[in-house]
Structure 1
């Protein structure tokens, strides 16, 4: 299995634990204030913020079955292999951002949103080749070259052309009305907004202060005008 994990750094980690469970994700292990991973269609992890890892930052991690196989597949890229306390061995791939690669899997929870972190990059060719080497494949691309949706066994990655490299938090859900109703019932201020690419549920970050921007939950892209589906 190849799976996508988006990692959010937060001051009020408990606030994010509550939100992600309302969205339909489930924690395979008891969450702690320092770290928690929730499984749905892909993995959403919450890490306590620090001076080096400020609140609102999002990292992209790819989970693979075999780290040695992944390292060989990434031989053409800038890769380091490190051992992290409490985590084990992990690969770091540098390409504007740093992508983590570790061994692991996701217990797919049907009905939960799909994780789809957005990798903003100044050029999409190398990010796409890195993700393809790790087992993801291109599914939908913009005719103009500014967007490519990469899919895995559990979770997607959106590649978006931008002036500076970073990672943005996002999810995809099939039934936005059901998601919005569930969020409102739990006390969240969720609104459905029409965007050029389709509709999205937006809600404020669940934590006060600098804990993150709006949370976006997009519907799957169905209108392919200006886009094409890859084979």
Structure 2
């Protein structure tokens, strides 16, 4: 299995909980400083951070898998077969993280992320089925990043333009995007919505969140005030893009 489940560190857990609930997500895990929310497709984990710390407002790119050992084996085999993995290096390495069993994936651009063993497998049926969690990988080497996502079993989906962007879906939920960017590789967080954004905008506004709708080249995007705005690690808004029709 493969499911998108980034981790967002924040000192404003309650505000994020209110935002995610307004988006139609449902809390499915609660261990004090660790809370997990299900969307219709993919999950997001909230991790408590100290106010003003280096972690506060930061998102970590991450996925969930079923069998960590088997996931590592398949990922390394895929990298070996296409020539990415050489000189005894491993793309995927099982590790023992402070939260349990996991696998670290290391990419040619220097980016790395964890595949954690899923605590539970079923997606919450009460979550808004139109909402998907999106994890973004910004990289100066987008082709290498895209190959790494292929190695972990992500499924390519069509993109509207023949450029360096790459879109993927995960078998068990969520969206993974690769976007070209200068500088060191870094993660990003967003959402997609399968349907008109105006009703979602009304729902967010009714819940007390400032939300503006913009028309962009390939569809509409809703920008919601980020609960972490003003911090060193936080953009001003959280974005929700209208899901493009598959071709």
Q: What TM-score, normalized to structure 1? A: 0.87
Pairs aligned (count): 222
Alpha-carbon contact 2:72-2:93 (below 8 Å) kept: no
Deviation at 1:162, TM superposition (A): 1.0
The reply to whether residue 73 of structure 1 matches residue 74 of structure 2 is yes
Alpha-carbon contact 1:10-1:55 (below 8 Å) kept: yes
Query: Is the alpha carbon distance of 1:127 and 1:208 closer, same or farther for their aligned partners in structure 2, counting shifts above 3 Å?
Result: closer
Superposition CA RMSD, Å: 2.1
Specify every segment of 5 or more residues in structure 2 that has no aligned partner in the other structure, as ranges. Answer: 77-84
Deviation at 1:142, TM superposition (A): 5.4
Classify the secondary structure of the residue corresponding to 1:70: helix
Alignment of 1:26-37 (within 5 A): 26-30=26-30, 32=32, 34-37=33-36
- Which string of whole-angstrom CA distances, capped at 9 and with x for unpartnered residues, describes residues 134-163 of structure 1? 221110235443211101130010111111
Query: Is the alpha carbon distance of 1:179 and 1:31 closer, same or farther for their aligned partners in structure 2, counting shifts above 3 Å?
Result: farther
The reply to whether residue 201 of structure 1 matches residue 222 of structure 2 is yes
Q: What TM-score, normalized to structure 2? A: 0.82
- Among residues 155, 159, 165, which one is paired with 1:137 in the alignment? 155
Deviation at 1:78, TM superposition (A): 3.5
- Which string of whole-angstrom CA distances, capped at 9 and with x for unpartnered residues, describes residues 107-136 of structure 1? 153425101111111122222222222221
Aligned to 1:47: 47
Measure the CA separation in 2 of the matches of 1:148 and 1:208: 28
Deviation at 1:56, TM superposition (A): 2.3
Aligned to 2:82: none
Specify every segment of 5 or more residues in structure 1 that has no aligned partner in the other structure, as ranges. Answer: none
Query: Is the alpha carbon distance of 1:31 and 1:218 closer, same or farther for their aligned partners in structure 2, counting shifts above 3 Å?
Result: farther
